[in-house]
């Protein structure tokens, strides 16, 4: 996916994404416009899961369509194998790579999700997942639903950015640095950084319901998509095994609180998550066996986090149920 393991064994993610932005003023040539763009995701991918959640919380479903790739892919590209005949019904392409190549012939880097495609031209606009969700909050405000939450409120942006930076470096990406480490020392170092950071967010969340402020923000969404995959994948597959999420009381309660919030748990597909990691990473799991566990029933148990105060959506309201054609398949979640 455009990343590599150094000679000393450290996994390094290539973060040189397509930096084009879709903005209200259209300064990069792509103005915010209803119906023009298609968000391409895979439910398996934590980076894409963020975009799915933010789009849903802000109510952008009616102005930005969504296309789902299957949970597995080959070296060349994510594919639309969930769609009839394996072709995206809007873009009319079988591989996400086709949209990348349409704009950048022979694009040499990883074909990643989430990606936003310009429907009229069939060209990829951006795959910069970190900027993408911030732009949903700040550039697409004209199309936010009534009652949409403030996920990136101006007074808290510096604090959110600071939290996000460490969460990304040591947790979101940290699990990968454990899983893809090419030496014992690189793994040991990544493991220590990961669990030190998990202890740090746990301490922070012991006395407050959300990471920054009194409502759900972008920071919570970014941490959630790693936590929700922790026991199903990262604990065993990536050797992040000091303890399971269910053995970290504060983070387990926090993750359940978010999971039970509309827009979070209803975007999570555990079947696809496990199929992706255990089948695609054949270097880590050469047998291709997908584990049956863990038991997911605990995700719906009481979490008690309401006692800390805070309002999930501030003065806003929860999103309604997901559109019929965007629901996680029956049996794929809790």
Residue finishing a domain among 82, 110, 143? 143
Return the residue matching tokens 């559109």.
323
Q: Which of 30, 45, 187, 240 is catalytic?
A: 45
**Where does a domain end: 102, 120, 143?**
143
Answer yes or no: do 77 and 158 share one domain: no
**299 has binding-site annotation:** no
* CATH of residue 265: 1.20.1050.10
Other C-beta atoms closer than 10 Å to the C-beta of 138 total 14
User: Would residue 334 count as lying in a domain?
Assistant: no
Angle at the Cα of 30 from the Cα atoms of 221 and 44, rounded to 5 degrees? 35
Residue 1's pLDDT is 40
For the chain, helix (H) and strand (E) counts, in that order, are: 9, 6
**Domain-located, residue 227:** yes
Residue 333 lies in a domain: no
Whether 114 and 185 map to the same domain: the answer is: no
Question: Which CATH number is 66's domain given?
Answer: 3.40.30.10
- Decide if 149 is inside a domain: no
290 within some domain: yes
- Span 5-30, pLDDT tens digits: 666 778 777 778 999 999 999 999 99
Assigned token pair, 228: 């929700």
**Rg of the chain over all Cα atoms, to the nearest angstrom:** 19
Please indicate, yes or no, whether residues 172 and 301 belong to a single structural domain of this protein. Answer: yes
Whether 176 is catalytic: yes
What is the structure's pLDDT at 16? 83
Residue 44 belongs to domain spanning? 4-143
Catalytic residue among 37, 176, 187, 234: 176
- Classify residue 38 as exposed, middle or buried by CB count within 10 Å of its CB (0-12, 13-18, 19+): buried
Tokens (6 digits) for 99: 């949209």
Residues 118 and 256 grouped into a single domain: no
167 shares a domain with 44: no
Are 133 and 159 within one domain?
Answer: no
Residues 224 and 267 in one domain: yes
The total domain count for the chain is 2
pLDDT for the residue numbered 8: 72
Whether residues 128 and 233 fall in one domain: no
d(CA 133, CA 231): 25
Q: Are residues 100 and 178 in the same domain?
A: no
Query: Does residue 87 lie in a domain region?
Result: yes
125 and 162 share one domain: no
pLDDT beneath 70: ranges in the chain: 1-7
CB 38 within 8 Å of CB 117: yes
Single residue among 117, 143, 169 that ends a domain in this structure:
143
Within a domain: 332: no
Same domain, 183 and 122: no
Judge if 165 and 303 occupy the same domain.
yes
- The DSSP letter of residue 291 is P
| Residue 135 located in a structural domain | yes
The rounded distance, in Å, linking the Cα atoms of 154 and 17 is 25
Of 187, 14, 189, 236, nearest to 108 by C-alpha is: 14
């Amino acid at each position: 996916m455009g990343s590599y393991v150094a000679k000393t064994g450290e996994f390094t993610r290539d973060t040189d994404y397509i930096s084009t932005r879709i903005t209200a003023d259209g300064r990069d040539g792509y103005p915010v416009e209803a119906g023009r763009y298609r968000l391409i995701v895979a439910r398996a991918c934590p980076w894409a899961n963020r975009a799915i959640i933010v789009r849903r919380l802000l109510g952008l479903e009616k102005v930005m369509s969504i296309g789902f790739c299957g949970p597995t892919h080959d070296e060349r590209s994510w594919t639309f194998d969930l769609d009839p005949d394996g072709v995206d019904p809007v873009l009319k392409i079988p591989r996400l790579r086709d949209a990348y190549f349409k704009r950048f012939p022979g694009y040499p880097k990883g074909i990643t999700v989430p990606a936003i495609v310009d429907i009229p031209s069939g060209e990829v606009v951006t795959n910069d997942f970190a900027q993408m969700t911030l732009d949903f909050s700040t550039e697409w405000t004209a199309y936010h639903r009534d009652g949409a939450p403030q996920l990136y409120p101006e007074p808290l942006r510096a604090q959110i950015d600071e939290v996000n930076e460490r969460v990304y470096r040591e947790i979101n990406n940290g699990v990968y640095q454990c899983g893809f480490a090419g030496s014992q020392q690189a793994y040991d170092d990544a493991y220590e950084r990961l669990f030190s950071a998990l202890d740090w967010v746990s301490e922070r969340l012991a006395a407050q319901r959300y990471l920054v402020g009194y409502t759900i923000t972008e920071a919570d969404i970014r941490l959630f998509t790693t936590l929700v995959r922790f026991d199903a994948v990262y604990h065993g597959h990536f050797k992040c095994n000091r303890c399971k999420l269910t053995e970290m009381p504060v983070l387990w309660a926090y993750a359940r609180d978010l999971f039970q919030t509309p827009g979070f748990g209803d975007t999570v597909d555990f079947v696809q998550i496990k199929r992706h990691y255990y089948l695609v990473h054949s270097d880590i799991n050469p047998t291709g066996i997908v584990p049956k566990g863990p038991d997911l029933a605990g995700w719906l148990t009481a979490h008690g986090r309401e006692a800390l105060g805070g309002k999930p959506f501030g003065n806003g309201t929860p999103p309604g149920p997901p559109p019929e054609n965007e629901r996680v398949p029956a049996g794929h979640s809790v």
